[in-house]
Amino acid sequence: MTNPTESEIEKALGDHMDALTPAWRSKLPGVAFTPTGGPWQRGTWMPARPGLVAFGGGAHHRQSGVYQIDIFYPKSERRVDLLLERATAMRQHFYPDGARGLTIEAGEGEIIVERRPGVSGIDETDPAYNRVFVEVFVRIELRPAA
């Protein structure tokens, strides 16, 4: 088994983000994107340093990081309520109520969300969009083949 690549991790998280509302435009890594005036979102994978959980051949690998989802809604529509509703739905999507977490497959590993994601306050610094971000704290596990 091999560790999932950074692109596999980012793709799995991005696919999960997009599954909530496929109609929203999403900024994807490495793809040109220009907002067109409607709501949109951007996911960014920020890995921490990977670590070994055990020593020796076939050691268990663990990596952690944050997947930040920036959600943008046009200021011209004056619908901050919809922006906050979307952020709450995204938090719920990555950590459903009543669940003990969420597991997403990524290559040969698993992405595990163990705690409820955080939601920021409203950022109004952009002249055209209000923004809220959702921070999803994840752990990636890869166990060696038996």
pTM for this structure?
Answer: 0.84
Q: Give the other-Cβ count within 10 Å of 114's Cβ.
A: 13
Q: Which of 97, 111, 96 is nearest to 142 (CA)?
A: 111
Share of the chain above pLDDT 70, in %: 86
Where do the DSSP E strands lie in 37-101? Answer: 40-47, 51-52, 61-74
Domain spans of the chain, in order of start: 6-28+38-142
| CATH code matching the domain that covers 6-28+38-142, chosen among 3.10.520.10, 3.40.50.720, 3.40.50.300, 3.30.2000.20 | 3.30.2000.20
Q: Given this model, what pLDDT does residue 137 score?
A: 93
Token match 């980012």: residue?
Answer: 10
